[in-house]
Structure 1
Amino acid sequence: MTTAADLIKKTYRPSMTVGQVYARPYGSTAPLTEIGNVLELTLEHKENVIKQADMTVLGGGTHAEVRRVEDVSISMKLADLNITNLARATLGTVQGIDSGTVTDEPHTPVAGGLLRLAHIAPTAVVVKKGADAASATVVASSNTYEARAEGVYVLPGATLAAGEKWWISYSYGEQAVIEALTTKAAELELSFGGLNEADGGRPCVVDVYRVSQSVSKQLALINDKFGQLDVAGTVLKDPTKTGVGISRFYRQTVA
Structure 2
Amino acid sequence: MASAPQTITRKVYKPSLNVGQLYARAYGSSGLMLPVGNVLELSIDHTEDVMQQPDMTRLGGGTYAEVRRVKQAEIAIKFADFNVLNLARATLSTVAEIDAGTVASQAVTLHKGGLIPLPHIALSSVVLKVGADTIAAAGNYEVRPEGIFVLDTAADIDDGEAGTLSYSYAGQAVLEALTTKAAELQLRFGGLNEADDGKPVIVDVWRASQSVAKTLGLLTGKFGELDVTGTLLADQTRTGAGISRYYRATMV
Give the counterpart letter for 2:206 in structure 1: Y
- Contact 2:112–2:159 (CA under 8 A) maintained in structure 1: no
Give the counterpart letter for 2:153 in structure 1: G
Equivalent residue of 2:13, what SS? coil
- Note if 1:89 corresponds to 2:86: no
Aligned residue number for residue 152 of structure 1: 148
- Paired position in structure 2 for 1:184: 181
How many residue pairs are counted as aligned between the two chains?
Answer: 250
Q: 1:139 maps to what in 2?
A: 135
1:221 paired residue number: 218
Kept in 1: contact 2:110–2:158 (CA 8 A): no
- Point out where structure 1 has 5 or more consecutive residues left out of the alignment: 131-135
State how far apart, in whole Å, the 2-side matches of 1:175 and 1:63 are.
Answer: 64
Q: Displacement of 1:120 after TM fit? A: 0.8
Letter in 2 for 1:116: P
Partner of residue 228, structure 2 = 231
TM-superposed CA distance for 1:142, in Å, is: 2.2
Amino acid at match of 1:24: R
**8 Å contact from structure 2 (residues 110, 159) kept in 1:** no
Q: Quote the Cα distance in structure 2 between the aligned partners of 1:36 and 1:213.
A: 17
Deviation at 1:163, TM superposition (A): 4.4
**Which stretches in structure 2 are left out of the alignment for 5+ residues?**
none
Matched position secondary structure for 2:222: coil
Q: Deviations over 1:70-125 (max 9, x none)?
A: 01001000001000000000000111111111111111111111001121121121
Distance 2:7 2:53 in 1: 40
SS at match of 2:161: coil
Q: Report the counterpart of residue 54 of structure 1 in structure 2.
A: 55
Partner of 2:114: 113
SS at match of 1:165: strand
Q: How does 1:1-255 map onto structure 2 within 5 Å? A: 2-130=3-131, 136-158=132-154, 160-161=157-158, 163-255=160-252
Q: Give the conservation status (yes or no) of the 8 Å contact 1:121–1:151.
A: no
TM-score, with length taken from structure 1: 0.96
Q: CA deviation at 1:162?
A: 5.9
How far residue 148 of structure 1 moved from its aligned partner, in angstroms, is 0.5
Aligned residues with identical type, % of pairs:
56
CA contact (8 A) 2:49 2:68 kept: yes
Deviations 1:186-235 (A, max 9, x none): 00000000100000000000000001000000111112111110011101
